[in-house]
Amino acid sequence: MVWLIIVDNPKRWDFSIPDIEVVSARNYLTHPDYAERRKLRVMNLCKSYAYQDTGYYVSLLAEARGHKPVPSVATIQDFKAPTVLRAMSSDVMPIIQSSLKSLHSEKFTLSIYFGRNMAQRYEPLCKKLSALFPAPLIRAHFSRDDEGEWLLTNISPISMKDIPDSHRDFVVEAARDYFLRRPSFVKRRELSRFDLAMLVDPSDTTPPSSEAALKKFEKAGEKLGIRVERIDRDDYGELAEYDGLFIRTTTSVEHFTYRFARKAEAERLAVIDDSLSILRCTNKVYLQEALARHHIPAPKTSIVHKDNMIHVMESLGLPMIMKQPDSSFSLGVVKLKTPEDYMEKTRALLENSDLLIAQEFLPTPFDWRIGVIDGEAFYACKYWMAKDHWQIYNHGAEDKNETGGWVDCVPLDQVPASVISCAVKAASLMGTSLYGVDLKEIHGKPVVIEVNDNPSIDAGIEDDLLHDLLYEKIMGSLLRRMEKRRRL
């Protein structure tokens, strides 16, 4: 992929970078040669990114042409959105505090040039902010709150003309370092048809895929001409380098995974899990409403709030299951046996969420898990309950070898047709991504318990029948999505 630097007036660009072409914004926007070229990265250094200014149109047309602009239109919009600033700044609060703790002032401004600052001690903070707001030249403003903690109050792009003369030599050095370290990054991608980022989190205590499974995804991608490269939460600013994003860490709306999905979609990458699937699947309030509206069988369910606690207990009866809306891996799910137990634990759960999900207790020896992708079932498992427990996971087990129950993979032609049909229909309410649908059989009829947007795919478990074909099926879906986006 070749870089272009776009500026308002190349005559005022007073330094050169080997193998990097400097182009005027007007030429880039109007000359047909640039519209027809492919595999271009565009560094937009125009003086203004304001809506409908030249700099805005450079990034907008770059995206329309299939080029990769920095900053993207999504990043330009993020600069203007206070809610985005607050959400993203929460990710960097620890590093903000550690970087600025020695300052005695009430306000501080940090200039970031191609991911760097003239003071080396701020470089970790610069790197983090540049990843969240990928743009060549940005200025971050901080102030102290009433408790003395530093807050990120504003972040905005700056133009070349606003850089102090005393900083210009450093900016030139930072720019050259930025571009000269890219060729090796780009060169290693030239042998693959597509480049896929696989998002993982080493600190995830319940990851959806084991190390062995991640290696199998990489192998399956290589077989299909996809270079699969693992990234983590610090690689937010590198997303535009890829053609697709595959999330293999536990997802949540209030989490970096959701922001990665949104960012990847804004960059027109193929994405699994997409942000809409994360939004829908990770909240059980949405799921229960969607199932009820489309008449898909589910356990008797009530939405609980502080004003209807007694009514729900009387209408559903005990024992019952109470769930936090965003629970996963059986965490945030409790079985309530007595009125005293119900009142105590429900009040405790309502401290963290205004709404809870109460369901009738339906004991079964196992749950079905049906894997669905692109609207089609492609694997099935029986998840047996953990030893002497009512769930498939028992996080309180004294013997850690008995935390989870046994898993049996079952050929699709041996799964009741009603189970598969119900699972596919439930998944269709969430989208066309990758899902794991959990169901029970009650008196021979399927009942949907959950639709998971980030289902477990573990070596030696879900792949026990299909082996490498399971991973190739998922990689094949991503390949088709990336091919489709390249044609647009």
**In a domain? residue 462:** no
Residues 53 and 155 in one domain: no
Residues 392 and 443 in one domain: yes
Q: What is the pLDDT of residue 1?
A: 64
CATH assignment at residue 370: 3.30.470.20
**In a domain? residue 473:** no
CATH assignment at residue 329: 3.30.1490.20
pLDDT at 470 over 90: yes
- The two tokens of residue 60 are 């907008």
Strongest mean pLDDT among 45-59, 182-196, 394-408: 45-59
> What contacts 35, CB < 8 A, 6 or more positions away?
61, 65
**In a domain? residue 337:** yes
Residues 135 and 243 in one domain: no
Planar angle of CA 344, 346, 352, nearest 5 degrees? 115
Domain boundary among 343, 361, 379: 361
Percent of the chain topping pLDDT 70? 92
Residues 343 and 399 in one domain: no
Residues 179 and 213 in one domain: no
Which of 4-13, 149-158, 234-243 has the weakest average pLDDT? 234-243
**In a domain? residue 385:** yes
| 31-to-13, 58, 64, 476 alpha-carbon distances in Å | 20, 12, 15, 37
Residues 293 and 439 in one domain: yes
CATH assignment at residue 109: 3.30.470
Closest alpha carbon to 5 in 205, 195, 176, 181: 176
* Paired residues of 3 in beta bridges: 41
Residues 164 and 21 in one domain: no
**In a domain? residue 158:** yes
| 275-to-225, 270, 396 alpha-carbon distances in Å | 26, 11, 32
Longest CA–CA separation in the chain, Å? 79
Is the model's pTM score more than 0.75?
Answer: no
- The two tokens of residue 303 are 């939405």
Domain count, the chain: 5
pLDDT at 222 over 70: yes
pLDDT in tens, 59-99: 999 988 888 899 988 888 888 776 666 666 667 888 999 99
**In a domain? residue 467:** no
Residues 292 and 391 in one domain: yes
pLDDT at 108 over 90: yes
- What is the rounded CA–CA span in Å between residue 1 and residue 186? 6
Domain with 194 in it: 189-276
Domain boundary among 76, 99, 126: 76
Domain boundary among 56, 76, 96: 76
Residues 12 and 118 in one domain: no
**In a domain? residue 471:** no
Closest alpha carbon to 404 in 394, 416, 389, 415: 394
- Using the structure block, give the residue that is written with the tokens 């027109």: 268
**Residue 446, CA atoms < 13 Å, CB-side half-sphere:** 25
pLDDT in tens, 257-302: 998 998 899 888 999 999 999 989 988 888 888 999 999 999 998 8
Residues 367 and 293 in one domain: yes
- What is the rounded CA–CA span in Å between residue 286 and residue 334? 20
- The two tokens of residue 399 are 């013997």
> What contacts 157, CB < 8 A, 6 or more positions away?
49, 71, 76, 79, 135, 137, 138, 139
Confidence of residue 187 (pLDDT cuts 50, 70, 90): very low
Q: What is the pLDDT of residue 89?
A: 65
Residues 437 and 289 in one domain: yes
Residues 50 and 115 in one domain: no
Which of 134-148, 173-187, 226-240 has the weakest average pLDDT? 173-187
- What is the rounded CA–CA span in Å between residue 265 and residue 272? 10
Q: What is the pLDDT of residue 186?
A: 45
Residue type for 250, please?
A: T
Q: What is the pLDDT of residue 77?
A: 83
Strongest mean pLDDT among 18-27, 85-94, 397-406: 18-27
Strongest mean pLDDT among 4-13, 115-124, 372-381: 372-381
**In a domain? residue 465:** no
pLDDT at 191 over 60: no
